Amino acid sequence: MNDCIFCRISEGAIPATLVHADPDIIAFRDIDPQAPTHVLVIPRRHVGSANDLEASDTELVGRLVVVARSIARTEGIAESGYRLVVNTGADGGQSVGHLHLHLLGGRGLAWPPG
Amino acid sequence: MNDCIFCRISEGAIPATLVHADPDIIAFRDIDPQAPTHVLVIPRRHVGSANDLEASDTELVGRLVVVARSIARTEGIAESGYRLVVNTGADGGQSVGHLHLHLLGGRGLAWPPG
């Protein structure tokens, strides 16, 4: 886990611009933003990807989405709209091996989504 | 609710190619697929968008993700990778006013995601 950059952000060992923190979930701004608002919402617990989710993780995963929805409100993009994205594996474009939900908004997002 | 195309699919009033059905959630193939696998996972209950989620909906939303993960396995794209996408509002590109999770895979998904 010490090698996981998102675990280290959760521990405070690597700095990030946090926009949410609770005992189970943190959210911080993407260092390479693809939209005016681009935030990553992650579980503090190390979960490698969506493939590693257990049926018992549904509450945690649902909370990732609800936290993202709340951040959309505080960022002022709830009404204009936003996109939530979870990448898994190579074809999905997953770049960090710790489950994370992208929240993107503040501009029109095109289709297809990549 | 009768005007909602996804509610009507859930009721069986409009045909769709289902790949999952349980008492709370169904999944079916997108009629305008953007990837070799392109499936929509939706709650049967009418929820307009992510903005309409209540804190009590976390279990349901988490199950949408876990169902999508399971479909990725049966579609044979769990290891190659996939992207999960939820669009909300105009900037997000939401085209049907009933919460739905896109599962896309079977090809490399580019970045940014739209």
In a domain? residue B27: yes
In a domain? residue B110: no
In a domain? residue A114: no
Average pLDDT, chain B: 96
Helix H or strand E segment including A40: strand A37-43
Q: Which residues of A touch B83 (CB under 8 A)?
A: 85-88, 91-93, 113-114
Rounded to 5 degrees, what angle do the CA atoms B24, B30, B31 make? 130
In a domain? residue B25: yes
Beta strands in B37-111 (DSSP E): 37-43, 82-88, 101-105
In a domain? residue B32: yes
In a domain? residue B21: yes
Query: What percent of chain B stands above pLDDT 70?
Result: 98
Q: Does A74 touch chain B (CB under 8 A)?
A: no
- pLDDT, residue A2, reads 65
Nearest to B105 among A82, A91, A102 (CB): A91
Q: Does A31 touch chain B (CB under 8 A)?
A: no
Residue A55 pLDDT greater than 90, yes or no: no
Is residue A28 classed as helix, strand or coil in its secondary structure?
strand
> Total domain count for chain A?
1
- State pLDDT tens for residues B27-68: 999 999 999 999 999 999 999 999 999 889 999 999 999 999
Domain range spanning residue B49?
A: 5-105
- Residue ranges of alpha helices (H) inside B1-114 are 5-11, 58-74, 89-92
Domain CATH for B30: 3.30.428.10
In a domain? residue B112: no
Q: ipTM of this model?
A: 0.97
In a domain? residue B113: no
Record the tokens describing residue A31, joined without a space. 């260092």
Known catalytic residue at A46: no
- State pLDDT tens for residues A62-100: 999 999 999 999 999 999 999 999 999 999 999 999 999
